[in-house]
Structure 1
Amino acid sequence: MRPPSKRSFFWFSEKTIYVETAGQTTRLSLSSRAQILAFICAIGVVFWISFSGLMLFSKGIGAPSIPASPINNAINTSETEVFAEELNAITQQSLSVKSQLSAALVEMRQMQNAEITASEQQEQLQYKLALALNELQALKRQHAGERNASAEGSIAPNALSVPPRPEQASPIDKVSQALSQTAKAKLETEQNLAAALSARDALELEILLIEQKYEQLFRQIEEALTISVKPLDKVLRASGLNSDSLLNTVRQGYSGRGGPAFGLETNLADLSAEEARALGILNSVAKLDHYRIAINKLPFAPPVTAAHRFTSGFGPRWGRMHRGIDLAAPKGTPILATADGVVTFAGTFSSYGKLVKIKHDFGYETRYGHLSKIRVKKGQRVSRGEAIGGMGNTGRSTGTHLHYELRYKGKALNPMNYIKAAKDVF
């Protein structure tokens, strides 16, 4: 069969018929092929009717004119009945073809309506499912936010966007696809939520361990500072000094600060409990450092650490005031500075023989007499424990020994009170 020409398609192009019944509009689509088939059927019926009528008419005209007779009349009557029956049969066939065509058109219209209705219902169902999934995801995110869960494992918004509407898919396939997507999204949401909760629990445990570690560290530091400060405070009080007044003096002389944080003021009301505790530890460390400075600057150390004998104490002796103590050891035994200071005298002085005087902070002065040798010079700065000379027998002396004096603002003090007070420190 030859394909239809373009001209025929122009006359029999696809047509759409809209029929409005009972307030509803029904759409009927007639393709080019259906129109051509109906046209051919109609032409065939018309041609058959025309041909049959022509044959009857021809027989009537071309028959010889003979007298009518009962036999001829019977023949004509029978032929007429045959032709009438044939015409009736043709008419019935035409009506049957027409009814079949109408039934086909009605069935086609019903199928189209059913397909359109099913497609629309499926699209509405799929759209409602997508909206339900989005609402479910919003509730999951809200629940995760209330529990301070991490948002790293949340489902991307694109995963729950409204799915596209496929044009060629059956209703069962569409519903199955929507249900599959719903189940997959729900599983991913539950997995991400479980992972976020697990991460949160691990983080809380880690924070708890860190807090316990810092609590133990703070407690150890506080205990160590308490243990370190108590003996130093005991030394100062045992020597008769006012520790508070002495530490204030140290703070005034050693209070320099600097650096990027210099000048910042700390308001205790703005600090948390942990920050206030840490600040207290820093203050205790600063106090300990002030104690260390005071101990190093005050003459608490013994002038002789080698083996020696205590031969004379502080106080009246032979009718006179003995303003120091005597320590005996072999000649040349090292004599040590008992605190940091500056040498103010190094030479021979009256009954002291070879004498070294050292000026210390806070108004203190120490004297070392009867030396055999002097190892420092006037104006030299010395440190606690530094050798300044050797034990000797110069000046008014009955044997090799050290005469050691301690003075505060010119007044002689008993050196043993300081040496004994710091016995467990040095």
Structure 2
Amino acid sequence: MTARLIHRFDVALGRYIPEQRLFLRSEDSTRFVRLTPSSIFLIGSGAAVLVAWAMISSALLLMDGIGAGNLREQARRDQALYDTRINALAEERDRRVEEVLAAQERFSLAMAEVSKMQSALLASEERRRELETGIEVVQKTLRRTLAERDQARAAQAQLVAKIEGTEQGDDTAKPRTADMQDMLAFLSSALDTAAMERETVAADAAAAYELAEALAYERKLVEQRNDRIFNTLEEALAISVEPLDKMFRKAGLSTDELIDEVREGYNGIGGPLVPIAVSSKGSAATPTADELRASELLNRLDELNLYRIAAEKLPFAMPLKSAFRYTSPFGMRRHPTTGRYSMHEGADMAAGHGTPIYATADGVVTKAGWVSGYGRMVKIKHEFGLETRYGHLSRLRVKEGQRVSRGDRIGDMGSSGRSTGTHLHYEVRVGDTPVNPTTYIKAARDVF
């Protein structure tokens, strides 16, 4: 039955594929091999399948190579863009720091200039008071001199009347008349002297009035100059404080509570006692408007300094200064080793093995050693109840109880503990409650 089917199949194929014979000759004989149409079909089909398989495999290998090259090229482009962005952010941070330092330097110079102007203003005010006192004394002297002149003129008139009356009398009045004439000459001389003194005093008074007007004009110019300086300083302080205040609010922190806590921690005072300036009326000297504005500026400068101290005490800096990649964010995720969904209480940042890791704020190292799950871990306690953790390190560079500052190197990146590869597990905790560390990093992006 099978041979019959094969024969029918050969007959059908014979119309398209004729039977072939393959002759094999030797020295003494000749042999041949008969190739039926079905054998030829099977051999051709096998060769076609083999060629097709070779072509498909070559195409797949070629496409895989092209795709891998494209992925590597895309990865290189992404890495270059990322490095460019990181460099731009670092340059922007450096520019911001330079602007803040320049603003502080300008503020210090302006405060020194304000101090000089206030000293000059106080000196001019003292000269004005002295001139006002001198003018008042001159006016009193002038009024007294004019009164004496009027009295002398009245006495002169009375003496002249008496002399004219006695000249018509007897000769016994002549000696008396001579005395009257001498007295009259003396009074005339005194009147001339008083008139000269009055003119001198009037000229001095006119000069004093002109000097007082010049001092008043100079004082007005100084006040205008001081007002411009105060306005510039107030604007500079507002520009300096605004980004810091925005940074704290983005991190979900109360700026008033932070400032109060920093002020309580930095409240030492002392020094020798200095007597309070007392006016001639016996009461304390009333501060001027410029003194009140200067006091307000000093308060704002103190507030800026408190913001700066608080920023150094809180984890706003980056734990890595080299290029890295975020591999796992804060929040719920599928655990890389167990495969179950669980809470990820930090942020994972991957870079090369041994990458330096830095403290993100001032604080005290409370743990530097092996912790289950974290591997080699550094735990730092900061002000205001905050704590940062750095896990999976390959090397520790700090010890427990050591005080560190922001930017100090505390370890090297590794893959110790429960980890699938080299990375840093970075946590921020507030009162032992984990919070998203990228909130602090993003809040400080436009400041540091």
The structural deviation recorded for 1:400 is 1.9
Number of the residue aligned with 2:170: 24
**Structure 1 pair 214/261, CA: closer, same or farther in 2 (3 Å)?**
farther
The structural deviation recorded for 1:344 is 0.6
Query: Aligned to 1:303, which of 314, 319, 336?
Result: 319
Q: Where does 1:30-45 land on structure 2 (aligned, <5 Å)?
A: none
Answer yes or no: is 1:328 the counterpart of 2:350: yes
Number of the residue aligned with 2:304: 288
Higher RCO (Cα < 8 Å, 6 or more apart) = 2
CA distance in 2, matches of 1:133, 1:312: 103
Query: Aligned to 1:357, which of 372, 379, 382?
Result: 379
Task: Check whether the contact 1:268–1:276 (CA below 8 A) recurs between aligned residues.
Answer: no
TM-score (normalised: structure 2): 0.55
- Per-residue CA deviations over 1:132-187 (Å, capped at 9, x if unaligned) read 653x5xxxxxxxxxxxxxxxxxxxxxxxxxxxxxxxxxxxxxxxxxxxxx4xx566
CA distance in 1, matches of 2:190, 2:258: 80
CA distance in 2, matches of 1:200, 1:240: 58
The structural deviation recorded for 1:21 is 10
CA distance in 2, matches of 1:263, 1:305: 53
Task: Check whether the contact 2:226–2:290 (CA below 8 A) recurs between aligned residues.
Answer: no
The 3-state SS of whatever aligns with 1:356 is: strand
CA distance in 2, matches of 1:421, 1:263: 47
Task: Check whether the contact 2:388–2:427 (CA below 8 A) recurs between aligned residues.
Answer: yes
Query: Aligned to 1:207, which of 219, 225, 228?
Result: 219
The 3-state SS of whatever aligns with 1:362 is: helix
CA distance in 2, matches of 1:118, 1:348: 126
Number of the residue aligned with 1:379: 401
- Per-residue CA deviations over 1:101-135 (Å, capped at 9, x if unaligned) read xxxxxxxxxxxx6x99688536514514524653x
Query: Aligned to 2:363, which of 338, 341, 349?
Result: 341
The one-letter code of the counterpart of 1:222 is: E
The structural deviation recorded for 1:321 is 0.8
Identity of aligned residues (%): 52
The 3-state SS of whatever aligns with 1:240 is: coil
Number of the residue aligned with 2:328: 312
Residue-pair matches, total: 271
Q: Where does 1:146-157 land on structure 2 (aligned, <5 Å)?
A: none
The 3-state SS of whatever aligns with 2:353 is: coil
The one-letter code of the counterpart of 1:192 is: D
Unaligned runs of 5+ in 2: 1-165, 277-282, 335-340
Unaligned runs of 5+ in 1: 1-19, 28-112, 137-181
Task: Check whether the contact 2:368–2:378 (CA below 8 A) recurs between aligned residues.
Answer: yes
The 3-state SS of whatever aligns with 2:410 is: strand
Query: Aligned to 1:248, which of 260, 274, 279?
Result: 260
CA distance in 2, matches of 1:280, 1:194: 41
Task: Check whether the contact 2:326–2:348 (CA below 8 A) recurs between aligned residues.
Answer: yes
Answer yes or no: is 1:219 the counterpart of 2:231: yes
CA distance in 2, matches of 1:330, 1:242: 37
Higher helix fraction: Structure 1 or Structure 2? 2
Please say which of residues 208-217 and 232-241 is displaced more in the overlay: 208-217
